[in-house]
Structure 1
C-alpha cells in the first residue's frame, strides 16, 4: 500500500483503496528532506548557470545520488522488479523539489514517463522488466521519443520521420521509439541537439531507426505510451507547483529586504495584494497537483479528469509566479546572475509540455460532457 493511501472495508469485509488525502505523509516529508538536502548541497545557482552556459546542464554525480543512493528512480517500480514499490505521491514530492531547485535531471522523462510506459506493457516482452530494473537501480536512463509538447490525448509520432523536441534525449542510455510496427528500445540512436528556451531541459531531434529490442506491437505501444504521458502530465503539475512556490518565497524574501523611503517594499499595499493573490493561486495549484498524484496512485478511471484539471490550472499559475518574481525583483530580476530567468523559462516551456492549457481544457470539456463556447 502506498503511503498516504487509506484503506476502507467494504460490506463483505474486503478492503479497497480509499481516496488519498491532500496532506503529505511522514514518509513523503522524510523523502522531501532527503531530496532537498541533496539539491541544496549540489545544485546551487552558480554551478547551475555555469553548466547551462556550457551546454551541459546535467550533473551525473547528483543524478547517481538521487537515483541509486536515495532510490528515487524506482519509486514507481514494484519491488518484484527491483523498485521501491511506492507510488505517484512520492514521485510527486521529488518533482516538487526538482521544480523548486530548478534541477536539470531527466527524472520526469525517465523515472516517470518512460517507467510508466514500460509498466504499461505488462508482461508482453521479457525485456521490459529487465530494463525497468536497471532504471530503478539508477544504472540506466530511458526516454520516450515523442515531442515534449505531446499531450496524453494528442497525436503520437508515426515513426517514419525525425521526431523533434525530445526532452532529455542526450541524457538517455535508451530511447523508446514508436515505429510503424511497434515500440523499440534503441541504444543511442542518431540525434541532433536543438536550441531550447529552457536551458535546464535540453531538447533534441531524434531519427527513427528500426534496431534494438522490439517491446510491443503498435496498438499495445500506443496504449503504453499514452499511459506514460498521462502520468507525466499529472506529475508535471507537481514540478510546476515547486517552481511557483520558490518564486513566491524568493519574492517575499526580496521585498522584505529591499527598502525604499526607509520601508521594506513588501510593506507597500499594492505589492502585498499581488503576493497575497499569488499565494491563493499556489494553494489551489497545490490541491490540484496533489489530487492528480493521489488519483494516479490509486488508479481507476478518474485519472484523465484529475490530470486535465491539474495541468489546465497549475501551468498558468507557475508562469504567473515566475513573471511576478521577475517583475518584483525589478532590475535584479532581469540580470543573468539571478536565477529568476531560469524559473521563468522553465515555467513557460512547461506550460506547453505534455499538452498546453488549452488542450487540457478541451480534454476536460470532453470528459465532463460540457460544450465549449
Structure 2
C-alpha cells in the first residue's frame, strides 16, 4: 500500500494550490458565500474546463480521468485549505462516488459524463429530521416508482440537478435517483452555522425515482459509499486544519507584545507544537484511508472510521486555537478565523460526530 504521492499527484497539488490562491482568495470566498448561488459559477466552469477536476476521480469511459480516492483527496485537501464555497464536494465526493461505485452501467452512462464535464450538479440525501447518517434510521420510503419522505437535510440540495436518495423498500434499503426539479420535490435553502457550505431541506412527496445500484437490500454497497464519503471529508478537514495552523504561526511571528513576538512565548509555542502533532496524526490517518479506499481493501471501514474521528477533532481543535492565538482580532467578522471554526464544527457533525465514529471503530475491531 503506497502512502507516498507520485510525481503526477504532487504536480496536481501544486497546480491546484496556485489556481486556488489566484481564483479563491479570502475576498472571493466571501463574495461567493454571500451570493444567491452560494458559489462562483465562473470558477465552477474553470475547475471543470481548465483543470478537469470534476472528472478527475471518475472512470475514463464516462468522461473522467480514471483517478480515484487519492486524487480526490488531494483536491479536497486543497479546497478545504481555502474553504472553497462550491457544490464540488456534494457533486463529486458524494454523488459522483456513489454513482461510480454502483456497478449500474445504465445509470453511470446517464449521469457521470455530465458530472465530469461540469454541466450537472448532484448530491446525496440520507439525513432526516434526526440528523443521523445511519442506514438503520432511514424512514424515507419508495413504492410504485416514487419516493416519499420529509425533512431530508441535504448538502447543496437547493440547487442540485440530481438528488440520490437513500430510502427503504420492501426488500431493504436502496439508492434512488430523483431529478431536482421533479414533481413532488420541494426544496428549501436553510440558514446554517457554516456560510461557506449550503444546506437545504428537501421534502419528497411521490417524486419519480429510478433505482441506482443493486436490487434487493443495497446496504453493503451503501455502507461502502458512506465510508468513501467519510474518507473524502477527512481529507478536506486536514486541509482546513493545516490552514488554521499556518495562520496561527504566521500571526505569532509578527504580533508583538511586551516588546517580543508572541511566538517567542512558551504558551504559544506549546499550542502550535501540540497542533502540529495532532494535525500530522490526522493527516496520516486521512492519507492511509485514501490509499485503502483506492485499493478497494476490506480495511476500508476501519480506516474510514479512524480518519473521520481523528480529522474532525484535529480541525475543530486547530480552528479554536487559531482564534485564541489571534486574540481579539480572531473574534471579529472581518477576520477569517471564525469561518474556519464554523466549517470545522459543521463538518464535525455532517456524517456523525467523532464519538459516533469512535464507537463504530470499537465495534469493528472488537473492543
Same fold by TM-score, threshold 0.5 exceeded? Answer: yes
RMSD: 2.0
Residue 214 of structure 1, CA deviation: 4.0
State whether structure 2 residue 178 is matched by structure 1 residue 197: no
- Give secondary structure in 2 for the equivalent of 1:190: strand
Q: Which residue of 1 aligns with 2:5?
A: 24
Residue 157 of structure 1, CA deviation: 4.6
Q: Quote the Cα distance in structure 2 between the aligned partners of 1:154 and 1:164.
A: 15
Q: Which runs of 5+ in 2 are unaligned?
A: 142-147
Task: Return the match for 1:164 from 149, 152, 158.
Answer: 152
Within 5 Å, which residues of 2 pair with 1:238-317? 238-317=235-314
State whether structure 2 residue 51 is matched by structure 1 residue 70: yes
Q: Quote the Cα distance in structure 1 between the aligned partners of 2:197 and 2:283.
A: 23
Q: Which residue of 2 aligns with 1:155?
A: 137
Residue 256 of structure 1, CA deviation: 0.5
Q: Which residue of 1 aligns with 2:85?
A: 104
Per the alignment, do residues 295 and 121 of structure 1 end up closer, same or farther by CA in structure 2, a change over 3 Å counting?
same
Q: Which residue of 2 aligns with 1:206?
A: 202
Q: Which runs of 5+ in 1 are unaligned?
A: 1-18
Q: Quote the Cα distance in structure 2 between the aligned partners of 1:240 and 1:154.
A: 26
Q: Which residue of 1 aligns with 2:328?
A: 331
Residue 69 of structure 1, CA deviation: 2.4
Residue 46 of structure 1, CA deviation: 1.9
Per the alignment, do residues 56 and 90 of structure 1 end up closer, same or farther by CA in structure 2, a change over 3 Å counting?
same
Q: Which residue of 1 aligns with 2:118?
A: 138
Residue 158 of structure 1, CA deviation: 2.2
Residue 258 of structure 1, CA deviation: 0.6
Residue 150 of structure 1, CA deviation: 4.6
Q: Which residue of 1 aligns with 2:67?
A: 86
Residue 242 of structure 1, CA deviation: 0.4
- Give secondary structure in 1 for the equivalent of 2:123: strand
1:227-254 CA-to-partner distances (Å, cap 9, x unmatched) read: 3221110111110000000000000000
TM-score, length of structure 1 as denominator length: 0.88
State whether structure 2 residue 234 is matched by structure 1 residue 237: yes
Which moved further from structure 2: 329-338 or 149-158? 149-158
Asked whether the 8 Å contact 2:76–2:232 carries over to 1, the reply is yes
Residue 291 of structure 1, CA deviation: 0.5
Asked whether the 8 Å contact 1:100–1:242 carries over to 2, the reply is yes
Asked whether the 8 Å contact 2:33–2:85 carries over to 1, the reply is no
Q: Quote the Cα distance in structure 1 between the aligned partners of 2:289 and 2:136.
A: 19
Q: Which residue of 2 aligns with 1:185?
A: 178
Which moved further from structure 2: 182-191 or 256-265? 182-191
The count of aligned residue pairs is: 350
Asked whether the 8 Å contact 2:91–2:123 carries over to 1, the reply is yes
TM-score, length of structure 2 as denominator length: 0.89
